[in-house]
Amino acid sequence: MSAEEQPQEEQRSLYRRHRPRTFDEVVGQEPVVRTLRNAVAQGKVHHAYLFVGSRGTGKTSMAKILAACLNCERGPTIEPCGQCESCVSIARASSLDVIEMDAASNNSVDDIRDLRESVAYAPVSGRRKVYILDEAHMLSTAAWNAFLKTLEEPPPNTVFVLATTEANKVPATVVDRCHRFDFQRPTVEQIASVVRRAAQAESIEIPPAAVAALARSATGSFRDALGTLEQLVTYSGREIALADVLAVLGVADSRLLEETVDAVAAGEARRALQAMEECARQGRDAGSFATDLEVRARDLLVVQTLGELPEELSLTPEADAALSAQAARIDHGVVVRLLELLGEAMEAVRAGADARTRLELALVKAARPEVDGSLRALLMRIERLERGWSAAPAAATATAEDPVEEGGASAAPVATMPAAQSPAESTEAPPPHGDPVADAMPAVVPEPPGSAAEPQAAARDLESMLSVWPAVIDLVRRDHAMLGAVIEAARPVAVDGEDLTLAFASTAQFLKKKAEVRANREAVGEALQAVTGGGWRLSYELRDEPAGQEESQAGEDSEEEWVRRFMEQFDAEEIPGEWDEGPDSPRRGAGAEQPVTSNEEGA
């Protein structure tokens, strides 16, 4: 049988054949259904409605149901028969009393003038003329102005339904004249129920796991779900398997996604890139792989947060068990950081960057925080160091007590550095990656928990603060080069609980004033918190005798010498201006404008 000989109903797309025809068939929009049902039953139908919601949520279908309720031969009724001439013509989009208009392609003033002329005519066969204006936000400003008066005072027996996905683009003067309904995005289970209903009506065999995968891929759109179901019928016939759904949707193999996340959690960037390479060999696009990986990370985040696998994430018993097991063995912070990096990568791709390059960069940064210079990566590295503290006592005990096995490699006992020994006096080799935090940390094996040498206690004494102070300076210098040069001339001199006192040389009053600026004080405080893991209250003072040779030199430098050194280092020049420190600034002369370097203003 040729396509021309097939019944007209069978030639229509699947989502059009299975539009809801009555209020009872609508899924997921109970508030809208209840209000419109009561309006029809009580004879209080408004002359203008504004339907707002994302694509595929049923806005146009709801408008047609309303039109059928008003024009059914048995009506007005809340249950149109679906068999009379009026109901059939509305379902087939051939009714002369229900006019659908696409505002995206009919958005000019002339189009609105034509509409205003047709509004003046009475209904042809029904009781009401219903105008459905789809994508209403696409109308031009002039078109809205021409339409406003007709929308406010339409002829009798006329109803306007404006459907839009972007209500913020509809003028407020139009919204005020309409009854607004917000259509909610349906859940995965609601979409799955519609898919099952359509599959049963079309005699399509599809297992629950395939229905769940299809419903999740629809991202809140009934139309997308039914459109994909129709595509699957063309691909595999009326018996659809989960593998067919994954193939048509282009979803990456769940095994590859699990392997990629495991590699990131283990810090193995090479293994993560190899998993991505295998996905590319299978013909998957890097952008879609990033999307699938983001979905996987999001699922892990949800399971970790809820402590259980929600029903909407369920696919098959095997897939559910694998997801739950991975969520249990992977650190929560790794998942959050991976999601953030993937979001940044996808944003760069939307801006025109290469998808594969950005995804590879995100995976490397997630697996190896030491290659990422951001504060967020530094916090991740500190977290890993803290986890290492808890494992170190057991390792130290095992090293000291276990005898050397015959024929095996001997392990030298780990010597604990005396508390008074500074990092500079240690003979330990520096870390291989040149980590400023690790460089500044003393190579001390912590004592068992509860002792005075716990990391939390050690971070609150002057000696420990002196050991990590170079790391604080490096961290500040990354984002604030001038401020880093300023605080490099300071040194910790007193620690009292959360109070930290930093001292400058007595002749460096200019530097002390710059450090006390509120923004600079906050930047130093954030760096201290990142390195030490705790908050601090900062205070600055001047001292006559610096502690070291470098500080002595800094103290001997005059104010003008510091300005000259800053200008040479940052290629700055002096411009007329005023300091932020106030009228008591040491550089402010009476009644004279003071020179300030352009780069100093950003410190």
At 467, phi and psi to the nearest 5?
-75, -30
- Pull the structure tokens for residue 88: 């059939």
- Which residue is associated with the tokens 């040779």? 549
Mean pLDDT for 476-493 is 86
- Residue-level pLDDT at 400: 42
Q: Is the peptide bond before 76 cis (omega within 30 degrees of 0)?
A: yes
At 401, phi and psi to the nearest 5?
-100, -30
- Banded pLDDT at 5 (limits 50, 70, 90): very low
| pLDDT digits 0-9 by tens, 448-467 | 333 333 333 335 678 888 88
- CA dist 310 → 184, 300, 320 (Å): 20, 11, 10
Beta-sheet pairing, 98-102 with 129-134: parallel
Top-confidence residue, 140 or 403? 140
Chain centroid to Cα 591, Å, comes to 53
- Banded pLDDT at 472 (limits 50, 70, 90): confident
Q: Which residues pair with 499 in a beta bridge?
A: 496, 537
- Residue-level pLDDT at 281: 81
Identify the H or E element spanning 233.
Answer: helix 222-236
Q: Mark 132-171 as b/e (b = at least 16 C-beta within 10 Å).
A: bbbbbbbbeeebbebbeebbeebeeebbbbbbbbebeebe
Please give the Cα distance from 22 to 513 (Å, whole number): 74
Top-confidence residue, 488 or 602? 488
Top-confidence residue, 142 or 383? 142
Its pTM stands at 0.56
pLDDT over 70, % of the chain: 73
Q: What is the greatest pairwise CA distance in the chain?
A: 104
The mean-pLDDT minimum among 129-138, 241-250, 265-274, 329-338 falls in 241-250
At 531, phi and psi to the nearest 5?
-80, -40
Sequence-distant (6+) residues with CB within 8 A of 255 are none
Top-confidence residue, 285 or 435? 285
| pLDDT digits 0-9 by tens, 27-79 | 888 999 999 999 999 988 999 999 999 888 889 999 999 999 998 888 788 88
Please give the Cα distance from 202 to 212 (Å, whole number): 18
**Cα angle value 115/119/125 (rounded, 5°):** 125
- DSSP state letter for 205: B
- Residue-level pLDDT at 64: 92
Please give the Cα distance from 317 to 324 (Å, whole number): 11
- DSSP state letter for 239: B
Domains assigned to the chain? 4-182 (3.40.50.300), 188-249 (1.10.8.60), 254-375 (1.20.272.10), 458-602 (3.30.300.180)
Please give the Cα distance from 277 to 334 (Å, whole number): 22
| pLDDT digits 0-9 by tens, 247-271 | 787 666 678 888 899 999 988 889 8
Contact 569, 535 (CB under 8 A): no
Identify the H or E element spanning 110.
Answer: helix 109-119
Please give the Cα distance from 490 to 504 (Å, whole number): 5
Please give the Cα distance from 446 to 455 (Å, whole number): 7
- Residue-level pLDDT at 10: 61
| pLDDT digits 0-9 by tens, 568-585 | 666 666 665 544 444 444
At 503, phi and psi to the nearest 5?
-115, 140
Contact 503, 469 (CB under 8 A): no
- Residue-level pLDDT at 149: 85
- Residue-level pLDDT at 66: 92
At 276, phi and psi to the nearest 5?
-65, -40
Nearest to 550 by CA among 443, 496, 473: 473
- Which residue is associated with the tokens 């009854």? 179
| pLDDT digits 0-9 by tens, 361-393 | 999 988 887 776 565 556 666 665 665 555 444
- Banded pLDDT at 555 (limits 50, 70, 90): very low
- Residue-level pLDDT at 212: 83
- Residue-level pLDDT at 545: 56
